[in-house]
Structure 1
């Protein structure tokens, strides 16, 4: 079996069609949760997706394509094996290439595909977050997985870790450069800006929008469901997962912060070792925002908080504890005020032709 790198200029229509055939055969063998209409709807989008991959590797046997893997940034975007190649090392070889040479450390896996999850867990990946739908809003939950080694794994574990580790500084610098380009808007259409941020984030659902002025620490631990809207100047400190369900609205100036630092100053201070390397202790707790939540302007959501589906958070609130579903809550600290019911319906919407 030969593993080859396929450059963008080498991805001819004939080769793309070979990849698509492998994809379809692989999906039919492992994705029994997909209907024929789902497969037929996805297949036409494969050529564009394959051409968009920064890196693409192919496994061949006797000249035939039997498996392929694509990646963008540090994320594995796809890995598919023809049924006859499964169990013969093609997938493992492609994943090893992606991890060892491309720096891949994260991926998404269909929850309804336990074979794939088992494979990735065996290869050292763990689940860090879950989305109820796939990136196109279809009812196929995704498991967001990361490589379970090194400081990145420690960062998302909830335990203390060294936030000044060199590999994390590389990640932060890469994200800063991308988000500066996103916010500058120079020479980018709105579609290109959303595509840029979609490649930066852990996931970015269909029709989701992130407005200018956004800031983020890593990006790859932010998971956005379909139909979400983020107004101007939102900040995400995503050492742990920050997960948004579908159709979440976030007002301007909101902050989602997962880091915690030691309370004692001597433990909190930046330190240098004998070789001059810096060390800074931190731990992170995940934030989860359910479907159909509205978070008004200038709200801060603290580490470890879950906001239940359909909740509304009033402007200026500081959310330090979980908020129940379908609840109006506000204040500093934010407290549940009352349940949201049908009595809250905007009765004049039908008159305006909006209901």
Structure 2
């Protein structure tokens, strides 16, 4: 398939710039792959579609306050720095994106205030730089200072400054392992009350960790999608999760990946007999149609941007015609789109 096949008119009026008041009050479109039926529910109704010993897989990554604002030495030009990942804790070097990129060159020094400065030591891409941070303190104190100064890394298309509420709402309630620069947004809809309902019903809730970079959200710039390269992201799957998931596979129970990140994590570590293996490393798995999924037989995901890798994975899971029809229905029914938007459950 071609990248242009995944294009549609983006509903700017339906772009969710703010989270709704209650997490589980989001709308939930139910998509049945077998009979092509589509239902309209609330996310708080999710438990109705699962039974005892079914398994739901959650990505427990935690969003890092990755957006810093500094000034160039001498010119005082304001520069936005997006911390993607720490490269070397000893040298305090980071892989970053800068904006405006045209003003940031190798050798430039940036001042973030409160004793935190940085020097650009290399270029990586048109917007990418290697930044060496300088701070008079331990590594732990440096990270603490970054968290104090950093802002919630809301997606650019939200087009507003982060507010106090975003620090909590642009984070799942089960977030534990810090390392993402973007939220696993399908998980934002879960409330403590809903998780308790699922537990009481005897549904297994297991966790994986996949630290999201920006690679999943960057546009696909080649027409032949098989030539697109995903950025590598850290991924961890423990033995307990594997044991529970594999038991559900053997019992032919429902296994649901919450979000494209959870799906990418589990599909990155599949054994020859189609079971889930423990995994500790990096994955650049890119899932696009056609693709045979090995672990999950259901999936929760939000409504994504045109031509995105997230939409491509969703189509691979549910089929092109069904998902494109669902998106047109979502636009007609005024579902909210993107990170703070509504969700779909694909069965």
Question: Structure with the greater relative contact order (CA < 8 A, sep ≥ 6): 1 or 2?
Answer: 2
Decide which structure has the larger Cα Rg and report it: 1
Scaled by the length of structure 2, the TM-score of the pair is 0.29
TM-score where L is the length of structure 1 = 0.29
